[in-house]
Chains A and B, each alone.
Chain A
């Protein structure tokens, strides 16, 4: 089956909790990663939009999902500081990204509290890579997935303030994605639109996950 996956590195990412149940946000994140693994990161956007619509948990639920996604990215870059064997320009980039994602975690947790919600706990992540190239490949996928996830969640957000804040984060994720793609010698902005799928394609692809 693995060779049929569009983004197999996403399928190898583990999201777990010890001695407890996965939160709704953890489940949506697992689904988003699976959707991305099978169909590519563009599919994450419609998946997240549908999943959040069905979970009916409002802005707090959306923010908690974003928080879970940022937990993943923050942990990934914090680990990468010692694991990715980065040097020079890439090392500075890893440090910048680690700092940005950590700030996103803190801002999202604070916003959940401000809205009277409870920030979800951080799940346990496991990332499989052994060298700089493996790190970069996963980083590119995570950043593209993050952009796609925020863009999918955006239209579900009720509060204008929350939407504006999420917009300020997704633009930074897009900037990260471009910078990591440049490191990989890949097109930094591969398409004119960050979620170019038609509604029909979306419905067909999302069906197996949420029906």
Chain B
């Protein structure tokens, strides 16, 4: 099974792995991020000033939201890299997958920079494995991931404090929506599965959906 090879941050990964039990990879990941954020958010001036936010485990305020988004973008980037390597796609579909993968990688870079700019510590890259059986199931997984990614951004937009962070998140959110529409089209499904108004997804739902792909 495909696996992410580029482990840029072995220390945080070990930390992540050490706490992880077989069914608690997400919880362990969250715990690891929580530890990190406690030492770094004091320099942030963009925090929401306390209160239990959905993304508190990823850091306070906007840093937590950005790190949550960064984690999802890492997963998307890794997923597309694995799909490209799988050899399941050729021609125009392969080009689309490469293009989307490059765009997700740009999101990773931008979010990492944004976390640092706010004085936070970027979340570590999670280790993931994706089932890559055949082209159709991979496209279905890609559509699920992109629709979920778009819904995840939508779920956080109103929680973002800084107008600049919000502008960046919106600029990414609509690109995730574009990706989702393309994959839905390739599958012969509706480009707007929620109808005229896209629905948000909360952190719990999103993390539960990606949990099967995280490996300890």
Describe B's contact surface by its main secondary structure: helix
Describe A's contact surface by its main secondary structure: helix
Which one of B12-20, B121-129, B168-176 is at the A interface?
A: B168-176
Give the docked Cα–Cα distance between A189 and B184 (Å): 14
Give the docked Cα–Cα distance between A104 and B164 (Å): 26
Q: Which residues of A contact B175 (CB under 8 A)?
A: 174, 189, 191-194
B197 touches A175 (CB 8 A): no
How many residues does chain B have at the interface if contact means C-beta atoms less than 8 Å apart?
43
Which one of B35-43, B83-91, B97-105, B134-142 is at the A interface?
A: B97-105
B94 CB-CB contact with A under 8 Å: no
A55 CB-CB contact with B under 8 Å: no
B170 touches A169 (CB 8 A): no
Scan residues 147-188 of chain B and give those whose CB is less than 8 A from a CB of chain A: 150, 153-154, 157-159, 163-164, 166-168, 170-175, 177-182, 184-185
Question: Given A156-B163, A174-B178, 12 more contacts at CB 8 Å?
Answer: A96-B192, A100-B192, A104-B196, A155-B166, A168-B200, A171-B198, A175-B180, A178-B177, A178-B179, A187-B99, A189-B178, A195-B171
List residues of chain B with CB under 8 Å of any chain A CB: 99-100, 102-104, 106-107, 110, 150, 153-154, 157-159, 163-164, 166-168, 170-175, 177-182, 184-185, 190-192, 194-200
List residues of chain A with CB under 8 Å of any chain B CB: 49, 96, 99-101, 103-104, 107, 147, 150-151, 154-156, 160-161, 163-165, 167-179, 182, 187-189, 191-196
